[in-house]
Each structure stands twice: as C-alpha cells, then as structure tokens.
Structure 1
Amino acid sequence: MKVLVTGGAGFIGSNLCERLLADPTIEQVRVIDDLSTGFAENLSGLGVEFHEASILDVGALERASSGCDAIVHLAALGSVPRSIENPMATHDANATGTLNVLQAARRVGNAHVVLASSSSVYGANPRLPKSEDMLCQPMSPYAVTKLATEQYAMAFAKVYDLPVLPFRFFNVYGPKQRAGHVYAAVIPVFVDAAVRGVPLPVNGDGQQSRDFTYVGTVVDVLATAVTAQVTGGPTNLAFGSRTSLLDLIALIEQGIGRSVEVEHRPARTGDVPHSQADNSVLRGLFPSLDPVPLEEGVRATIAWMEQTLQV
C-alpha cells in the first residue's frame, strides 16, 4: 500500500509517518508539505518521499498522489486567532485545499481519504459531551473551514462514491508539537514555559476545559483507519475526558517536580469554553483502542521538550 500524507512535516503528520513506516503492509509513504507550519527536520531519517509543495498547487499534488492507495489529509492552517486575523488564507488552505485533495483522490482511482476536521465545528453549541449528531455552530473562520473540510468529504462520498473518513480532532498534544510562536497550542506553550521556568500564560480564568488526546493514540487510529480501509461519517477522535487548564497545570507541576507561576491574560475571542467528546462512534469503529492517559502523555511531552530545549 502506498500512502500520501498531506502536511506530513507537521506535528501530527510526522508522528503518523513514523507510525506508518513501522507497518509492514505499507510499501511507501509520501509527504506533501510547503513547510509553512511544518519542519523538514521532523522527517529526518524516516525515509519518506518528500514533495515540498502546497496542496494549492494542483500539479504538485497530482504528482505526489500518483499511484497512491490512500491519502491522509492533515495539511491545514490551524489556530482560531490566525483565522480571525486572516480568514481568506485559512479558507484557501483548509477549504480549497481539501477540495484539491479530494479531486486528487478521484484522479488516482478513488483513493481512500482520511481527513482531519476539528472539535471547533461544535462551536457555540453548549451541550456536553459533543456527539456527531449535534448541530454545529462554528465560532471562528477556522471552525467554518473545518466544517467545510468534512462536508466536502461527505459530499464526495455521496456523489462520487469516494471512500472517506473525517475525524474531528480534540486538542491533540505530544512530542514534536512546538511552542515559540503566537499560534501555538496550549500544552506545548505551558510545558515550554514550565521547563524554562517562566510564567505560564493562561487566557481567561483557567476554568475552561478540553478533551486532550495524545498524539500516539491519534496516529494509531489514523494508521488503523488506513490499513483497514475504515470509512464513515464525521467521527470524534477523543475519549470523553475533560480537563481544565488549571488541572492541566497541576499535572505539569507533578511532571517537572516543582510548582510553576501563572500569568492570567484576557480570554481570547472565538475560544470555546468547554469541550468533551462523546466517543461512542469512535469506539464502534475501533473497539480495541487503548488511549494513552493524560498523565503519561504529559510526562512524555515534558521529556521531549526538555530534550529539545536541552534543559
């Protein structure tokens, strides 16, 4: 089996490439990534076929996908704040980019497409836990583009019989997820600050909660979806946990063995106060899943960050 990973030089993508290459049923892994948010060194030594290009470059995407049996579509411009600042760039990368990927899958004979959507699609709908049959009420341009991603996939499944499986990611974290930029996710920001001994920046009062999912668990699900050719509708990829930012900070303190200082900042526009997945659909598709506990995942993330920062 030959697999193309879009955005494969990124955090989740590079972890997935490593996981796929460990599978004897995978003959080749290709990556297309323009390195706008990914890093070539994430793929160093992995033995992937790397195409440095954007998924908005239809010709490059066609060359990268030629002969592939499956495409895992992770390429995107993430971040709610970035989408608020530049909604058109987010739309181009996430909505138009997805359309290009789906068209590429059709051109190579209806390759199986596994896609990354986001829990942000639930938006202003306050019901917890979030289940796939809920009304989606996006609160940011980013969330709108992720809803477009999965809806394009479902339309292609209906109209062109394209085999697809869109996953709604919930706050994925772990090794290779970097801090040090304005759009960084909360766990790398917190762990980076804790390891360096500087105050942890908390937007709002810290009571907001998230369903954090370790990247190792996520890539196991993605790899299984590819090799078993699992198809379906939008599916939450999280396990029903709910952890406040203040509780997360306590876990980080346990992991580094000392207390940390917290700096409270104004709440961010477009942020959802609480997020928690109903994982019944996921469990139905992948009944043998054994997710990595948050405490273990945080420890692994701290270890990676300490090594990266050489603290």
Structure 2
Amino acid sequence: MSRSEFCGSTVLVTGGAGFIGSNLCHRLLDDGPERIVVVDNLLSADMVNVPDHPAIDFRLGSIADDRVLQQLPQQFDWVFHLATYHGNQSSMHDPLADHANNTLTTLKLFDHLATRQAPRKIIYASAGCTVAQKTFDAAEATTEDDPVSLYLDSPYQISKIVGELYGNYYFTKHKLPFVKARFQNVYGPREILGAGQWRGTPATVWRNVIPTFIWKALCNTALPVENGGIATRDFIYVGDLVEGLIACAHKALPGSVYNLATGVETSIGELAHLINSAAGAPAPVDLRPARTWDRSGKRYGDPTKARTELGFTAATALPEGLRQTVEWTRANRSVIERCITQHRHFLDRKAGL
C-alpha cells in the first residue's frame, strides 16, 4: 500500500484537537482524504490546533457520548483512536475521570464500530509505560512481548492496557481490524502547556517534561529535575510518531502490537542540558526528590518489530527535534501564555499564594 490510500477516504480521529491528533490530521491532509471527522471534548486540547480545512469535520464532545456516536458517519475507511485522559498524574488525582475518558471511550467506540461495516484498520494509541520494567537500575529495551505487571503505577497505565485487552476481544470476537501502537515519550510542536480544562493538579499545565523544560528555559526559570536526573526515557519526535501511525494503518497486521520508539535512552539530566543548549538560555536546575509513584524510572522501547514489519524508523535525532520544538514554542508563545494563564488562580492556590 502507499500513502495515496488515504486519498478520497473518510477518516475518524478521536482526540484530533490534541497534541498528537492534530499533528496526525495536518499530515493526513497531505494525502487528500475526502473527510476527516475529528471528535474531541477539548478536555486537554485547544481549538487552535485543529486544521482550518474544508475536509475537517469537527465534532465537539466525547466519543463515549451516545449522541456523538449516533451522529457519526455510517462507515469509516480508517480510525485513529487517540482520545485520552492525559496523563499519569492527572489519572492518580481522579481515577474516575481517567476511567470515563480512557477506558469507557475505548469500549464504547469499539462496541459501536462492531455494529458497522469494519474500517480497513483501527489504530489504538497505547503506552509503552504499561509494559516498562519497574527499575531505576540499568534498563533493557522494552519489547512488544514483555509481560504486563499486575501492579501498575497509575490508573492511566491501567486504562491503556485495558484498552488493548478490549481491542483484542473485539478483534477476535467481531473481527475488527485492530492494531495497538505503543507510544514512547512523544514531543514536538503543538503540545500546548495548559490547553483545555483544569483537571485538579498542576499537571494540567506542567505536562510532559520537554515542553515544560523548554518553556521554563525560555522564561529563564529553573528546570525541575527529580532524583538527580537519573531517570531515562525514549523521546520520539511527533512527526516521526505520526509516520509510525500511518505505517500501522498501511502495513500492520490486525491484532498486532508495535512499539513506536527510537530505541535511544536519554536521561532527564542530559535532556535538561540539551534543552538549555537548544534554547540558548542556560536556565538553572532545581533538584527535587524522586517521584514516589514512578517505579519505572529507566525505560526505552525496542523499535525492531516496527522497523522489520512496517518499515518504520524514527528519523529525527533528539537535538534536531528539540531545535524545531523550541522554534515552534517561540512562534506560539502567546497561545501557550493564554492557556497557562487560564489556570493561574488554580496554580497560585496550589502554591499557597
């Protein structure tokens, strides 16, 4: 198959106003789909990310809403299920909200699709942290066949793996052409700090480490580094991740699971140095204790299966990806400031100000 397979097609992207979903929508438009239906409740997203294009059909709401489901087109050629309750810390603060926006959304979408003519492929956004080793010692690259712990670190991790199990069920029972894409730590343009609604903790604003570090570096504010910066992650540029999703749509075998990863392990301490260099602003480091909930301190993914079966390789080296992300952040500073500012009184209250 070629990328032109999307030409003239109808695509569903849940969570399409979010960081990854919006990047996917912009990329899909290059291939000339007839219609991209975007469903997003803007819980952790902002409309500025949604492409202004006649092929975009935006639906405000949750994919778990029966009204939203009933008003969807009868048939989709492709489905990308990216809607999520972002992320670990928010899920620990409100497990019921995580269940409503992760587990229930997945179950209701799959159950709905089982009553329709099946799409060519359904790509589910899962998480590499669900199968990561629980270690701060030297880590081995996580493979697709690694065991899943019965003692996961957060409701987010639980709901992501439960989504895989539901997908497996609908694949075997209803023949839905379901594919699991396990993301590592994705970063890049269109990840807007503070986008969406307040969700109870400062993690509403200070989300993933890269946009947080970049913003703080550009504001000459100390970078919060926990546990001496020894934790490691596999950072994959969002443009590469999107190409991995497209490769899953074109080439993946239904029922399969793939790591979308670089296979490169980077410590948080090294990341702080790289971001300071990319930002041209040597911000100080604020050393903090280790996060008590995070036991998978060192982790990265094995990309071998995706490379062998999908022909997918992450092409963007971390320094170049950081440079592009810093450039985007500078160009979109007013949008980020608007989104952060809407939560300022909550942040001040949490800080006791």
TM-score normalised by length of structure 1: 0.94
Q: Aligned match of 2:124 in 115, 129, 138?
A: 115
What's the counterpart of residue 42 of structure 1?
A: 49
Check whether the contact 2:181–2:248 (CA below 8 A) recurs between aligned residues. Answer: no
Are 1:134 and 2:146 an aligned pair? yes
What is the alpha-carbon distance in structure 2 between the residues aligned to residue 134 and residue 141 of structure 1? 20
Are 1:10 and 2:18 an aligned pair? yes
What's the counterpart of residue 244 of structure 2?
A: 221
Matches within 5 A, 1:145-156: 145-156=159-170
What's the counterpart of residue 174 of structure 1?
A: 188
Matches within 5 A, 1:1-311: 1-24=9-32, 26-47=33-54, 48-111=56-119, 112-126=121-135, 128-137=140-149, 138-180=152-194, 182-183=203-204, 184-228=207-251, 230-271=253-294, 272-309=296-333
Residue by residue over 1:194-216, the C-alpha shift from the partner in whole angstroms, topping out at 9 and shown as x without a partner, is 11111111232211000000000
Which is further off, 168-177 or 179-188?
179-188
Distance 1:225 1:114, change over 3 A: same
The structural deviation recorded for 1:227 is: 4.4
Check whether the contact 1:150–1:234 (CA below 8 A) recurs between aligned residues. Answer: no
Percent of pairs with identical residues: 33
Which is further off, 213-222 or 247-256?
247-256
What is the alpha-carbon distance in structure 2 between the residues aligned to residue 45 and residue 2 of structure 1? 17
Check whether the contact 1:6–1:74 (CA below 8 A) recurs between aligned residues. Answer: yes
SS of the aligned residue for 1:259 comes to coil
The structural deviation recorded for 1:83 is: 1.2
Check whether the contact 2:220–2:281 (CA below 8 A) recurs between aligned residues. Answer: no
SS of the aligned residue for 1:252 comes to helix
Distance 1:46 1:142, change over 3 A: same
Q: Give the residue type in structure 1 aligned to 2:93.
A: E
Which is further off, 107-116 or 236-245?
107-116
SS of the aligned residue for 1:250 comes to helix
Distance 1:256 1:205, change over 3 A: same
Q: How many residues align?
A: 310
The structural deviation recorded for 1:269 is: 3.2
Q: Give the residue type in structure 1 aligned to 2:129.
A: S
SS of the aligned residue for 2:166 comes to helix
Q: Give the residue type in structure 1 aligned to 2:148.
A: C
- In structure 1, list runs of 5 or more residues that go unmatched: none
- What is the Cα-based RMSD across aligned positions, in Å? 1.8
What is the alpha-carbon distance in structure 2 between the residues aligned to residue 296 and residue 65 of structure 1? 40
Residue by residue over 1:207-236, the C-alpha shift from the partner in whole angstroms, topping out at 9 and shown as x without a partner, is 100000000001112123334565342211
Q: Give the residue type in structure 2 aligned to 1:281.
A: K
Check whether the contact 2:306–2:312 (CA below 8 A) recurs between aligned residues. Answer: no
Q: Give the residue type in structure 2 aligned to 1:113.
A: I
Distance 1:202 1:232, change over 3 A: same
